[in-house]
Structure 1
């Protein structure tokens, strides 16, 4: 039986970082312009510490030095996702590290928003687990000022082992009061308790990664009851030894009623876009087209896309599954 084309499956990419979205050719061009080294890829095979990833991410970010560079990277990310079958994409950006070159966090955010204006995309402002709750509160206030103008959510990225969940509660309360969805990274290294705390303490409506939740039935039940979506990025786990592809508990989570989405995370560093993640789910996990369509529906439902965009994408998913 001929398999359906997964690139043609309408979907949303809800987990994509600005620097990690960069095209390799764009990185090479910018690195040459500014005379900075291009970060080497992670060595194939083996298990690497988080620092190995962070060093390469930071080196790539060092090649982004102007508002024009930021606009280019963001717009190319949207173009790449549209070509990959996404009808909506959410780009996550922590403006802090770009701020020194652009004169503050607000010009960084304005550059990203300028790039995605008029295209089917939203921006998630993110702080870092490695920074303070006070810093996160400042970024949440920034995000709130741009709510309704392209900013759709607030998150936390980086290694979750470096932060204490409760310290970020004021920032997430402020973001929620501004009408922004809450989407922290959790449950990558830490166990299910971390996912639960992010839901109960930070009011998370989506969790970046979150796969460790699958080991605890009560946390799975909580995610299902509150319809908290997990942003699963299959190619992000083997390099760190947290999950093998064949062991990803996607089918069990779906069966338990947890909304699961597939995102690309950092295609620059992990070498895979969204459709690649769906192909992995089909090949390594044996997911059927009906299950993959369900994941695509979850990605649309959990997104901050306008209602008309959601309706169109959901209709397209049904048509894809019916072979039209």
Structure 2
């Protein structure tokens, strides 16, 4: 559908390593004489059996990313693909676990390289990037504390948020409360993955125990309409990734996906790709498939873009600049 091609898009839920094109990772592996053949299929795509195997493949791919220079190159590659899909503003999840082993000084070197690449991409492609430091849930609460300290040390105009990702079935949100409190005290805004593999209670727990204003995914809330109404009333924003949910089998088809029902019930929903090459998607593809599944038109997508930039963790000046881009496209 050409209608969606020229629409400016805001993406709030993107894992930087998970957005690495397979060819990019294969190239790095070849440079470093690493054998990663087991994580690709015969067509060169990432290959995994289910979500938990996906996590292992994801972490295997990150083994090629050994230096700040690798992350500089990765950031440029990812933003080039995002911009080609019409993304004008993106927030990406960054994990010091993969960038310097949660050592603050090493993390600062990685962050400097990522920011330098983001500045180049903004000049080249007109796309603005901001970072959300993310603890890995299945690495445990103690390592999350170290990640939170990295976040607190680099909070500011570019590192704007703190989050929690990984295996939702490991531990409870409250196990990570110390890390979220530390991030909040550093001025960071908060999000957490929930309601993807965990049911409605995982969403309720993340909101109550971590005090987040956004939920990554959150779609399983639809199984508890009282929770849906609570989310709508509190104005909690869902970072919805329909293509990811369908690819991983949470919903059988796009028409089965609850994003439309959540939106109709007053929930603030946004649209993102999550880990796009793993799920064979782009932001343009997400828009196209949603338009086809729910007859969404430009007005709906414009409203979603506006909801997304309102929910973005960036500073006011950056938000105003992106809003002007949305308004210029609408005009």
1:235 aligns with 2:233: no
**Where do residues 302-313 of structure 1 align in structure 2 (5 Å cutoff)?**
302-313=311-322
Instruction: State which of 95, 114, 138 in structure 1 corresponds to 2:116.
Output: 114
**Where do residues 147-158 of structure 1 align in structure 2 (5 Å cutoff)?**
147-158=155-166
Who is 2:19 aligned against? Answer: 21
State how far apart, in whole Å, the 2-side matches of 1:181 and 1:41 are.
Answer: 38
Post-superposition shift, 1:320? 4.5
The answer to whether the 8 Å contact 1:253/1:260 transfers is yes
The answer to whether the 8 Å contact 2:162/2:183 transfers is yes
Per-residue displacement from partner, 1:161-190 (whole Å, max 9, x unpaired)? 112111111111111121111111111111
The answer to whether the 8 Å contact 1:42/1:269 transfers is no
1:297 aligns with 2:301: no
Gap change, CA 1:205 and 1:19, over 3 Å in 2: same
Moved more, 33-42 or 219-228: 33-42
Per-residue displacement from partner, 1:109-153 (whole Å, max 9, x unpaired)? 343233324742111111111122222122112112111141111
**Paired residue secondary structure (2:97):** coil
Post-superposition shift, 1:9? 1.3
Task: Identify unmatched segments of 5+ residues in structure 1.
Answer: none
**Paired residue secondary structure (1:265):** coil
State how far apart, in whole Å, the 2-side matches of 1:276 and 1:30 are.
Answer: 27
**Paired residue secondary structure (1:99):** coil
**Paired residue secondary structure (2:138):** coil
**Where do residues 237-316 of structure 1 align in structure 2 (5 Å cutoff)?**
237-244=245-252, 245-316=254-325
Who is 1:96 aligned against? Answer: 97
Per-residue displacement from partner, 1:54-82 (whole Å, max 9, x unpaired)? 22212211221221011111122223222
Moved more, 98-107 or 282-291: 98-107
The answer to whether the 8 Å contact 1:191/1:213 transfers is yes
Post-superposition shift, 1:294? 1.6
Who is 1:159 aligned against? Answer: 167
State how far apart, in whole Å, the 1-side matches of 2:164 and 2:92 are.
Answer: 13
Who is 2:194 aligned against? Answer: 186
State how far apart, in whole Å, the 2-side matches of 1:127 and 1:15 are.
Answer: 14
Per-residue displacement from partner, 1:218-274 (whole Å, max 9, x unpaired)? 211221122211111122123332112211111111122211111111122112121
**Paired residue secondary structure (2:135):** strand
1:40 aligns with 2:40: yes
**Paired residue secondary structure (1:161):** coil
State how far apart, in whole Å, the 2-side matches of 1:111 and 1:316 are.
Answer: 27
Who is 2:58 aligned against? Answer: 57
For the aligned residue pairs, the C-alpha RMSD in angstroms reads 2.5
Moved more, 178-187 or 100-109: 100-109
State how far apart, in whole Å, the 2-side matches of 1:74 and 1:12 are.
Answer: 17
**Paired residue secondary structure (1:5):** helix
The answer to whether the 8 Å contact 1:232/1:260 transfers is yes
Task: Identify unmatched segments of 5+ residues in structure 2.
Answer: 123-127
The answer to whether the 8 Å contact 2:102/2:150 transfers is no
The answer to whether the 8 Å contact 1:16/1:91 transfers is yes
The answer to whether the 8 Å contact 1:13/1:81 transfers is no
